Chains A and B, each alone.
Chain A
Amino acid sequence: MPVMPLSGNHAAAYAAKLSRVEVVAAYPITPQTQIVEKLAEFIEKGELKAKFIRVESEHSAMAACIGAAAVGARAFTATSSQGLLYMSEMLWWAAGARLPIVMGIVTRALAPPWSIWSDHIDVLSQRDTGWIIAFAENAQEVLDLIIQGFKISENDRVLLPLIVAWDAFDVSHTIEPVDVPNQNVVDEFLPKRRKYRHTLDVENPFSYGNLAYPKDYMEFRYSIYDSMLRAKDVIEQCAAEYDRLTGRYSGGLIENYLCDDADIVAIAMGSISGDLKVVVDKLRKQGVKVGFCRIRYFRPFPSEALAKCIEDAKTILVFDRDISFGSEGALCLEVRATVNREGLDKRVYGIIYGIGGREVRQKDLENIIVKAYKEELNHPRKLLWLNLKHV
C-alpha cells in the first residue's frame, strides 16, 4: 500500500475512485472544489470509469445522485456550506427513498457574513434528514470513512445515505502522508453495488414517493429511525472488517482515548481531536486524570458507547464547533441527553470554539481542562465561548 502525500480533499477523491463510484454529480464551492476537480481528472484520464454529471446547482447535483442510486449505480458527491443548504431539500428525498449515496462535506461556516473557514453548523443543520453523519479527524480517516461509508450505506439492514464531514483547510487543504489501500483490497471489502427490491427496473415498473396518508406515513419514519439504530452495529462491523483487510482500525462510532480511569473527559468531533489528544498526554504526565472521547459518528448518535466511555468521570467538557441559537452546541445537547437517559451523575460543561475558523491553541484547550480539574469553571449554565473577543 503506497503512502502518498494527500490533502483531505484529494484523499476523498482517491477514496471515491477506489470505491469504484459510477456517477459523480457536483457543483463547485470552496473549500470542496478540489475533490470533484480531482475526480473529473481521474475520469478524463480513464483511471475511473464513471459518469461525471455537470449540473447547475447543488440541488440538481443531489437530484442526479438520487436518480443514479435509484437505478442501482454507486453515486458520490461533495459540497460545503451554502451549497449544502441549497441541496437540503433533496437530502430528505434521498434518505426517504432509502438510497445508498455517499457525500463528502467540507465543513464551512454559513453566511452572513461570508466566511470560507470551518465550523460544523452546515452539516449539523442537516441532523434530522435521515443521513448517517461521520466526522473525520484527518486525511487518512477521510479516505477510510468514505470507503467504509459505501459499505455501511449499502448494507440492506441500513440503506441510508451517508455523509463524511471534515474541517475546511485544517483537513481539506492540509497535506499529510496517507496510506492508500490497493484496489484489490478495497474490491474485497466493497463488492459491486447490488440491486435491492426498490431499485428501479424498467421491466418491473412501480412508483414511490407518493402521497402517504396518516395511517401509513408514521411507519416510514419509524423505519428510518429503526435502520439508523441498526446502523450502529453495521458501523462497528465495517470498521473491524476494514481493519482485518488493511491492518488499520479507522472507524467505529467513537474513539476512546484514555477515558477509562479519567475524572475529566473532553468530547469533540473533527480536526481539533489531535490537539486534544496531545493536551491529554501532557496533562496525564502531570498527574491530571483526563481522557478524550471523540464522536466519530454524530448520526446515529453513539449514546451507549459514549455512556460507557464516561461512566466513571465526574466532569465532562463538550467542545462544540457550532451553536444552536437560543440553546447551546448541538453535540453538548446530545451529551446531556445521554447523561440524562443513562441516569449518570456528571457535570457537563459546553464550550463553543472555532466558529468561522477562529484560532484555537493547545494552551487554550489545556487551560480549560486545568480549570475544570481545579473546579474553577463557572456554572454549566454559563456557556463558555473560547477566544471570544469583547462584544
Chain B
Amino acid sequence: MGLVEIRWHGRGGQGVVTSAEMLVSAAIYEGKYAIAIPFFGAERRGAPVVAYNRISDTPIRTRCPILNPDYVVLLDERLGRMIDVVRGLKSDGVLVVNSKSVPEWVDRKDIRIATVDATSISMSLGLELAGIVIVNMPMLGALIKVSNIVSLNSLTKAIKAKWKGERMKQNLEAVTRAYNETVIW
C-alpha cells in the first residue's frame, strides 16, 4: 500500500477527530504508519469541522495540507450543499457519505460514491450525546469497507482498547453493521 490520504468532513460533536484517531490506532496493529490531523480553528458543537488522515506502509514525514485526498468521508450529507466537500478529491477517488442514496448535489462524474445510513445505525444503537447523533463509528466501518486500508479486525482491536462495557459494544456493532450495509454505487 502506498500513501493513502483521507479528508473527513462533519460537524463538531459528531466525532470526526475520534474517527481519525481510531484509524491511526488500527493502523498501528497492522504495523502501518498513520497520522491524524485535526484542523484547528474556532470549532464548536454543530459547526463544520475537518480532519485528515495519512496512512502508509512507510514512515510518514510530510505534514503539509492534504489537497488531493483519495477518500472524502462526509458525516453530515447536508454539508455538501454548503461547502465543496469533494474539492481536490482525486479522479476515481471515493466519496463516502452518510446518506440513504446518492446525494443530488454530487456533480462530479469522475469519482465513485459509497453510501451508508449511519444516522439510522447510530440512532438505533443509542449513540447520541446532547442531541447530536454520533455517526463516526459507522462512517469508519464504511470507509474501511470501501478502502481496505485497515481490516475490520484491526479496527475492532482499536475499539476494544479505547472503550469498555456498553459503549464498546455499541461502537463495535455500529462499525460492523455499517461495514456490511455500505453500498458502492
Chain A positions near chain B (C-beta within 8 angstroms): 3-5, 31, 116-117, 168-171, 173-177, 271-272, 274-275, 277-278, 359-362
**Contact assessment for B64 and A360 in the assembled complex, using a CB-CB cutoff below 8 Å:** yes
A361 touches B62 (CB 8 A): no
Measured between beta carbons, the chain A residues less than 8 angstroms from B61 are: 274-275, 277-278
**24 CB < 8 A contacts A-B:** A5-B24, A5-B36, A31-B40, A117-B40, A168-B40, A173-B40, A174-B35, A174-B38, A174-B63, A175-B35, A175-B36, A176-B24, A176-B36, A176-B60, A177-B24, A177-B27, A177-B33, A274-B63, A275-B61, A275-B62, A275-B64, A278-B62, A359-B65, A361-B65
Contacts of A275 in B (CB 8 A): 61-64
Known: A5-B24, A274-B62. Is A116-B40 also a contact (CB below 8 A)?
yes
Within the assembled complex, what's the spacing in Å between the Cα atoms of A275 and B40? 20
In the complex formed, the residue of B with least CB distance to A177 is B28
The contact of B64 among A116, A176, A361, by CB within 8 Å, is A361
Binding site for A on B (CB under 8 A): 20-21, 24-25, 27-28, 33-38, 40, 60-65, 67
Chain B residues with Cβ below 8 Å from A170 are 63
Main secondary structure of the interface of B (DSSP, over half): mixed
Q: Which residue from A116, A117, A171, A175 sits with its C-beta under 8 Å from B20?
A: A175
Measured between alpha carbons, how far is A31 from B61 in the docked complex, in Å? 22
Partner of B28, one of A5, A116, A278: A5
Given contacts A3-B28, A31-B40, A169-B40, is CB(A175)–CB(B64) below 8 Å?
no
Q: Chain B residues near A272 (CB, 8 Å)?
A: 63
Find chain B residues with CB under 8 A from A177 CB.
Answer: 24, 27-28, 33-34
- Asked if A5 and B21 sit within 8 Å, CB to CB, the answer is yes
Q: Given A274-B62, A275-B62, A275-B64, are A175 and B40 neighbors across the interface (CB < 8 Å)?
A: no
Q: Report B-chain residues with C-beta under 8 Å of the C-beta of A271.
A: 63
Cβ of A260 to closest chain B Cβ, rounded Å:
20
How far, in whole Å, are A3 and B30 apart by their CA atoms in the complex?
A: 12
